[in-house]
Structure 1
Amino acid sequence: MKLLYKSAIIALLTACIANCDGQSSSPNLALLALATGNPSGIQFSAVVGDSHATCEGDISGHGDSHSSSVVTIQHVAGVMPIKLKDLRFYVSGFELVDQDDNVTTLDIPNTGVWQYSGVTLLDFENGKGSCSGTAETNNLVQTSVENKTYKTLRFTLGIPESLNHIDYSVAPSPLNISGLAWGWTMGYRFFVGEFISNDAATLGNAAVLHIGSAGCTESSGVYTCTNSNRTVIELTPTGGFNPFTQKVQFDLKKAVTGWDISAGSKSCHSMGAMDSANCSLVYPNFGLDYSTGNAGSTAQTVFGIVSK
């Protein structure tokens, strides 16, 4: 009976999309997506190598590198296993490019919780186990999208400058989270990724990676930053991207490629010269040049497109 009822609703909505207003409309697409259990928008997931990024239990994060005779196990920042502590980041500026190079700028509506003024917070920690964040999680950028294959998905990892220096204590959600605000720059952490080693030989060694604008100063209430540190992620997978059948995958292991915490903890807080030794090793993974805060010569490797 439930299957018949669901099928009837889907058929009704499909007919309405085709005939109710003579054209395909975003609200109808959203209703159909809801009825089929496929929320309208851009879905994300988070992994550590071959393992899901999860707060409860150890993460092995083994890689899939092979030699002719044996499997080469690649550790995460030189240790194995790890425990996740935090993984949250802000995204904005979403665009889809079709096969004819037409660019569609996606409307990211305010949702009252995860989205505000075109910014979405993606949250992969649930405050349990080794994680110290919040119980709520979010892996979806809610927006109306068509069930079609695009050539390119483009978005920015970060908060626009126009919102970056507002007072988080009175800001709307999701810009009101103290753990993602930086008091010393009156700005936000665009990206927060933290984990600790649970390897018996290096127990407790930590990796802390925080990306946000740097070199920020204020004059008469106006902030300027020498290093934007916003990276534009452009994904053009072979075969294209269909938001109904594919999602964006973030790999924390690839984000910290270049770090080895087996000999001691490493951290990057995007604090200019004092952080250069560690930050400059991992910024290229995001497609950024640490010295300038702009796009670097190396393409980002942390985001990719995978099947749902």
Structure 2
Amino acid sequence: MKSLYTITFTTFFAISISNCDGSSSNQNLALLALATQAQPSIQFSAVVGDSKATCGGDISGHGDSISSSVTIQHVAGVMPIGLKDLRFYVSEFELVDQNDNVVTVSVPDTGVWQYGGVTLLDFENNKGSCSGTSATNDSVLASVENKTYKTIRFTLGVPESLNHIDYNNAPSPLNVSGLAWGWLMGYRFFVGEFLSNDAATLGNAAVLHIGSSGCTGSGPADYACSKANRPRIELNPVGGFNPFTQKIQFDLKKAVTGWDISTGSKSCHSMGMGGDATDCPTVFTNFGIDYSTGDQGSTEQTVFGVVSK
């Protein structure tokens, strides 16, 4: 018999829990965590190579050996780095079963981390060099079966139908000011930032913000963006994917492969201005995006994978 688990919201959700951008109490957030622990979900994790992506201390174990004949191809070689920010929106989940049936995953509104099928995954906790809030989220609460699927698909980003709403009046988690580009009335789909903690290169930073660009219009109702920059992630792990025993892993090291901050800072804001033309194309390829068009590229993404829980 198939075991189908459907989310049932407990009375914990009746407690007043405020917005993701800073005003919720630790007590309410703790109650939220208790209420959601047992709920079926699609879980995510974040690493930097061999190390967990965490705030408040040095992250090492992510670099290649350095020698005169080695070109540093990611992060900052072997220098210790400090995480500043790591948050991203995911949406439009699908699972493909062993009979090639496509299952659209229902992602309910939770009042905090999910709205309109969009979930904010937040791996910064306001410790050390990280700025934001102490609240974190690594799961997409959803109705999923305890079985193995051939494929899982999702979109990195906010759907176009929600991308140009006024974040000042939007429901959580679309009300986070740090993830909104005011001049576009759009969202930063992905924010990843870190800096060097190495004495010789202290303060050299990497800033990666991915969102739609080339947007025009006079108001939220008629905006159009020439570059969606909204990659569709498809994972087909050997042996399949079971959301009850496996999780999706994001690797910041793989995301910034091609960047080297040992000689200076790097930044990509998706806008096609400043250093974007130099710094964006490489990392966009890592996400499976063609930087020149903003569409899905011909190279498969490398930043997400499936691992055991």
In the superposition, the TM-score normalised over structure 1's length comes to: 0.85
Partner of 1:12: none
Partner of 2:211: 212
Tell me the alpha carbon deviations over residues 260-305 of structure 1, each in whole angstroms, 9 at most, x when there is no partner: 1111101000012541110011100000010100011111000000
Partner of 1:8: none
2:79 is aligned with what amino acid?
M
Partner of 2:54: 54
Partner of 1:256: 256
Distance 1:81 1:74, change over 3 A: farther
Query: Counterpart of 1:272 in 2: which secondary structure?
Result: coil
Tell me the alpha carbon deviations over residues 237-268 of structure 1, each in whole angstroms, 9 at most, x when there is no partner: 00000000000000001000010111110100
Partner of 2:242: 242
Distance 1:206 1:104, change over 3 A: same
1:256 is aligned with what amino acid?
V
Structure 2 alignment gaps of length 5 or more: 11-33, 66-71
Instruction: Say if 1:44 and 1:250, in contact at 8 Å, map to a contact too.
Output: yes
Tell me the alpha carbon deviations over residues 88-145 of structure 1, each in whole angstroms, 9 at most, x when there is no partner: 0000000000111100000100000000000000000001111011110000000011
* Separation (CA, whole Å) in 2 of partners of 1:200 and 1:60: 14
Instruction: Say if 2:64 and 2:78, in contact at 8 Å, map to a contact too.
Output: no
1:298 is aligned with what amino acid?
T
1:196 is aligned with what amino acid?
L
Instruction: Say if 2:121 and 2:136, in contact at 8 Å, map to a contact too.
Output: yes
* Separation (CA, whole Å) in 1 of partners of 2:161 and 2:50: 37
Superposed displacement of residue 80, structure 1:
1.1
Superposed displacement of residue 49, structure 1:
0.3
Instruction: Say if 1:30 and 1:40, in contact at 8 Å, map to a contact too.
Output: no
Q: Is 1:85 matched with 2:84?
A: yes
Instruction: Say if 1:49 and 1:254, in contact at 8 Å, map to a contact too.
Output: yes
* Separation (CA, whole Å) in 1 of partners of 2:78 and 2:293: 30
Partner of 1:146: 145
Q: Is 1:201 matched with 2:200?
A: yes
Query: Counterpart of 2:82 in 1: which secondary structure?
Result: strand
Larger radius of gyration: 1
Superposed displacement of residue 62, structure 1:
2.7
Query: Counterpart of 2:6 in 1: which secondary structure?
Result: helix
Superposed displacement of residue 215, structure 1:
0.3
- Give the aligned length: 278
* RMSD of aligned Cα (Å): 2.3
Instruction: Say if 1:61 and 1:253, in contact at 8 Å, map to a contact too.
Output: no
Tell me the alpha carbon deviations over residues 42-71 of structure 1, each in whole angstroms, 9 at most, x when there is no partner: 000000000000001100033589xxxxxx
2:251 is aligned with what amino acid?
D
* Separation (CA, whole Å) in 2 of partners of 1:277 and 1:64: 23
Query: Counterpart of 1:250 in 2: which secondary structure?
Result: strand
Query: Counterpart of 2:262 in 1: which secondary structure?
Result: coil
Instruction: Say if 1:94 and 1:153, in contact at 8 Å, map to a contact too.
Output: yes
Partner of 2:189: 190
* Separation (CA, whole Å) in 1 of partners of 2:260 and 2:4: 50
Partner of 2:19: none
Distance 1:232 1:79, change over 3 A: same
Superposed displacement of residue 39, structure 1:
3.2
Bigger relative contact order, structure 1 or 2, given CA contacts below 8 A and separation 6+?
Answer: 2
* Separation (CA, whole Å) in 1 of partners of 2:216 and 2:38: 44
Partner of 1:118: 117
* Separation (CA, whole Å) in 1 of partners of 2:73 and 2:277: 25
Q: Is 1:27 matched with 2:26?
A: no
Structure 1 alignment gaps of length 5 or more: 1-17, 66-72
Instruction: Say if 2:89 and 2:157, in contact at 8 Å, map to a contact too.
Output: yes
* Separation (CA, whole Å) in 1 of partners of 2:183 and 2:272: 13
Partner of 2:302: 301
* Separation (CA, whole Å) in 1 of partners of 2:62 and 2:272: 32
Deviates further, 219-228 or 99-108: 219-228
* Separation (CA, whole Å) in 2 of partners of 1:214 and 1:183: 13
Distance 1:28 1:173, change over 3 A: closer
Distance 1:75 1:209, change over 3 A: closer
In the superposition, the TM-score normalised over structure 2's length comes to: 0.85
Instruction: Say if 1:121 and 1:138, in contact at 8 Å, map to a contact too.
Output: yes
* Separation (CA, whole Å) in 1 of partners of 2:250 and 2:61: 13
Question: Which structure has the highest helix share of the two?
Answer: 1
